[in-house]
Structure 1
Amino acid sequence: MIKKGNKLYSILYGTCPKCHEESMYSTKNPYIITDTLKVNEHCSNCNTRYRLEPSFFYGSMYVSYGVGIGFAAVAFVISYLVLNASLKTSFFAIIGTLVVFMPIIMRLARNIWINLFMSYDKSLAKK
């Protein structure tokens, strides 16, 4: 189990990178498409602003490319090497994986991006 205070905790759970107490997103479910990328303005616990500057999360597009490649590689390994599917079937497995996991990939990329610029502060966490 990943504990609070670790960047990986904030990345995987989408919590405030400073206090790890509140979700950054207005809706926890990434599959509510209209709310997938809606980020709260600030943390209600530590008052950390999530948008450090206008268009801050544009940088996460570069991260999402890498995360998407990771998901695609796993889909290929599972379909082609484990299940012995053809290359054509593996290609469709990769496309399907990227479509199904796109909301999660986008959120993970944003979580990684903001955690590159902010660190956990133990004094801000709830006791």
Structure 2
Amino acid sequence: MLKKGSKLYSILTGSCPKCHEESMYVSKNMYNPRETIHMHEHCSTCGTKYKIEPSFFYGAMYVSYGLGTAFAVAAFVISFLFLGSSLKTAFFAIIGTLIIFMPIIMRLSRNIWINFFFKYDPNAADNHKKSVESK
């Protein structure tokens, strides 16, 4: 079971890596091409800025490559080894899998990438609220 406070929770739910209270993405529907990777600028609960620097999420391409490879290998193993299809059919299964799961891979890679740089802080929301009130 996923528990707030774990990196896995933030990665799989797409929630803020610091407070785990709010989704980083504007839309829950990742299959809308305009909204797949459209993110909020910052968390409204704890104030965490998601783009630490310009082009921050370019690093997620490396994670995306690894995830895409894992999905492709899984598609090959299932279609070729378990279902006994031909290499040509297995190739098309890989292509189809990558196309169908592309939005999931894109979001997961961003979630994994941003979680390399942030640590869960259960007091983040309270600290942000206090800092806003003191201004």
> What are the within-5 Å matches in structure 2 for residues 5-84 of structure 1?
5-84=5-84
Q: Where in structure 2 are there 5+ consecutive unaligned residues?
A: 127-135
Question: After the TM superposition, which segments of 4 or more aligned residues of structure 1 sit over 3 Å from their partners?
Answer: none
TM-score, with normalisation over the residues of structure 2? 0.90
Is the CA contact 1:17–1:118 (under 8 Å) kept in the aligned structure 2? Answer: yes
Is the CA contact 1:20–1:125 (under 8 Å) kept in the aligned structure 2? Answer: no
Shift of 1:50: 0.3
Q: Where in structure 1 are there 5+ consecutive unaligned residues?
A: none
Could you list the per-position Cα deviations for residues 91-127 of structure 1 after superposition, in whole angstroms to 9, with x for gaps in the alignment?
Answer: 100000000110110000000000001111122268x
Q: Percent identity?
A: 67
How large is the Cα RMSD of the aligned pairs?
A: 1.1
> Matched residues in 2 for 1:31 and 1:122: separation?
31
> Matched residues in 2 for 1:119 and 1:30: separation?
25
**For this pair of structures, how many residues does the alignment match?**
126
User: What is the identity, as a one-letter code, of the residue corresponding to 1:91?
Assistant: F
